[in-house]
């Protein structure tokens, strides 16, 4: 399916935000424990999906500069949390709000990429549609057979 990482991130952000809402609203230790475990599963799903998205969206030549710009808001959030005396309940509510905002913004990104990418385009393959990729594979196969490579090598090149 198209944009798997983007769709996954929407769900991860939304479910993680609900976990923080449950943590901030309940006094039940079991609910808090389960919510924290579900949040940790979300963290485990976040990093691979975000890495996939960043590699497909951020140009490689500008990656270091852009990644450093990502750190500015993060440092601001950390400083704010350290310089204020927020209760744990309020801290979890703030995290709930930030993750809900992230879920909304991720949905906007998903829609924007749907609009920018014509139907049938596979963004995960660098914008090539299925026909272009099939033609490339056929050309590789033809080149391999013309150079005398055996069929096993041609099969590997198609994979």
Average pLDDT over residues 144-158: 47
In eight-state DSSP terms, residue 84 is: S
Closest CA relative to residue 107, chosen from 1, 3, 18: 3
pLDDT in tens, 84-111: 989 999 999 999 999 999 999 999 998 8
Please give the pLDDT value at position 81: 87
Residues sharing a CB contact under 8 Å with residue 49, sequence separation 6 or more, in sequence order: 5, 6, 8, 9, 12
- Look at the block and give the residue holding tokens 């079991």: 30
Q: Is 128 left (phi over 0), alpha (psi -120 to 50) or beta?
A: beta
Please give the pLDDT value at position 126: 45
Express as a percent the part of the chain with pLDDT over 70. Answer: 71
pLDDT of 155 higher than 60: no
- Look at the block and give the residue holding tokens 């996954």: 8
pLDDT of 77 higher than 60: yes
CA distance 151 to 159: 13
Distance of CA 154 to the CA centre of its chain: 33
pLDDT in tens, 16-75: 999 999 999 999 999 999 999 999 999 999 999 988 888 888 888 999 999 899 899 889
pTM, whole model, 2 decimals? 0.67
Please give the pLDDT value at position 117: 67
């Amino acid at each position: 399916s198209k944009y798997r990482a983007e769709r996954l991130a929407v769900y991860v952000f939304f479910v993680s935000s609900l976990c923080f809402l449950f943590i901030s609203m309940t006094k039940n230790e079991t609910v808090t424990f389960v919510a924290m475990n579900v949040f940790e599963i979300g963290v485990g799903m976040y990093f691979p999906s975000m890495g996939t998205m960043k590699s497909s969206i951020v140009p490689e030549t500008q990656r270091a500069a852009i990644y450093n710009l990502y750190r500015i808001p993060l440092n601001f959030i950390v400083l704010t949390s350290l310089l204020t005396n927020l209760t744990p309940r309020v801290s979890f509510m703030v995290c709930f709000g930030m993750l809900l905002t992230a879920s909304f913004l991720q949905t906007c990104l998903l829609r924007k990429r749907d609009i920018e990418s014509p139907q049938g385009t596979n963004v995960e393959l660098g914008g090539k549609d299925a026909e272009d990729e099939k033609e490339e594979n056929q050309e590789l196969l033809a080149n391999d057979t013309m150079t005398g490579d055996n069929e096993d090598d041609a099969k590997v090149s198609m994979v």
